[in-house]
Structure 1
Amino acid sequence: MRHRVNKKRINRDKDHMRSLLMNLSTELIIHEKVETTLAKAKLLKPHIEKMITYAGKAQKTDDKIKKYNVVRNLNRKLGESEAIKKLVNDIAARFQGTPGGYTRIVKVGNRQGDNALLARIEFTKDATPKAAKSKQKKNVEEKEVKNSESQDAE
């Protein structure tokens, strides 16, 4: 019987689950999207969202001791200093003021070998603004310049 068991295990023991979540979290933070199985993505989503909310505390405060403690506790969950720096300085700052919903899961399809459901987990806000809008504006401006030149020539 599953009395008071509130976490999914996906057929792994405690240490394997911890290392799996640590590795997936680190890769998601560094690359900002990870393609994995749907079950692992669903397991990772609440884990990473709690870490982003916790890293936001370090972003908001000016107290060096609180920042140090937040970074120290994140180090226990991530283990890689590059990922921790990016989480605290870049990702937590990007989602500051957002109450949740930092990640999305997109179903990709099935894996070729074992037909497992694949999903991509990614952050909802991109790191850089889209450059496509600026290209469209440039094209419109170039057309206007060409039109005005052709009218002047006539």
Structure 2
Amino acid sequence: MRHKVHKYGLGITREHRKAMMANMAASLIKHERIQTTLTKAKALRPFIEKVITKAKKAGVAKDKKDAIHLRRLALADVRDENAVTKLFNETYKQFADRSGGYTRIYKLGRRDSDAAEMALIEFVKADDPGYKKNKSRAKKAKKPAAAKPAAEEAAAPAEAPTPAAEEEKKD
């Protein structure tokens, strides 16, 4: 059975993928924005968001032992002590009011050498409102146009003739 197998394989071994995600996550934490291929960015997003959630939980933990435990779990994933320290001491504060969606991916187009789809993945700022749905579009989509009965449509032109039609009748 193929239960819980949906991950971005990236055409590499499991160990290589874990090491690559750890390196990319450390770079994202240090620089807050990295450029990579679209597939790698999509693979990195759930990985880094789970680590940020651990940092947020450690920030509000009542016991010091719980915070240390979460830090060690994050360190097992990211494997870079400086990056984890920066995340747990500084970066997690900007996500205190967000309940998810800590990263954003921008598509950049294709790379010249091999035509790989490139992307920019970055942290979402604390004061960034994000994208809102246009209310007028939402109302139009929900409210279908009311169809007129056939009798009304046929009667409407007879009741109000156009000026061009009246001139033709006079001639």
TM class, shorter-length = 0.7 to 0.9
Q: Helix, strand or coil for the counterpart of 2:121?
A: strand
Q: Which has more radius of gyration?
A: 2
Q: Please report the RMSD computed on the Cα atoms of aligned residues, expressed in angstroms.
A: 1.5
Helix, strand or coil at the partner of 1:106? strand
TM-score by length of 2: 0.70
Are 1:87 and 2:87 counterparts?
A: yes
Could you list the runs of 5+ residues in structure 1 that have no partner in the other structure? 128-154
* One-letter code aligned to 2:57: K
The size of the alignment, in residue pairs, is 126
Q: How does 1:92-111 map to 2 (within 5 A)?
A: 92-111=92-111
| Residues 1:71 and 2:85 aligned together | no
More helix by proportion, 1 or 2? Answer: 1
After TM superposition, give the deviation of residue 126 of structure 1 in Å: 6.5
Partner of 2:23: 23
Return the offset for 1:22.
Answer: 0.4
Give the C-alpha shift of residue 97 in structure 1: 2.5
Structure 2 counterparts to residues 131-142 of structure 1, below 5 A: none
User: Matches of 1:20 and 1:49 in 2, distance apart?
Assistant: 16
Q: Is the 8 A contact 2:95 2:126 kept in 1?
A: no
Unaligned runs of 5+ in 2: 128-171
SS in 2 for 1:125: coil
Contact 2:36 2:118 in 1 (8 A): yes
> Which amino acid in the other structure matches residue 101 of structure 2?
G
Instruction: Flag the 1:44–1:93 CA change in 2: closer, same or farther, 3 A.
Output: same
Answer with 31-40 or 72-81: which moved more.
72-81
* Aligned residue type for 1:114: D
Residue 40 (structure 2) aligns with: 40
CA displacement at 1:78 relative to structure 2: 1.2
CA shift for structure 1 position 61: 1.5
How many Å separate the matches in 1 of 2:100 and 2:113? 35
Task: Quote the residue 1:14 is aligned against.
Answer: 14
2:2 alignment counterpart: 3
TM-score, scaled to structure 1? 0.77
Helix, strand or coil at the partner of 1:109: strand
Q: Which residue of 2 aligns with 1:58?
A: 58
CA distance in 1, matches of 2:38, 2:68: 34
Q: Is 2:54–2:71's contact at 8 Å kept on the other side of the alignment?
A: no
- What is residue 140 of structure 1 aligned with on the other side? none
How far has the Cα of 1:3 moved from its partner?
2.1
Q: Structure 1 vs Structure 2: percent identity of aligned residues?
A: 38
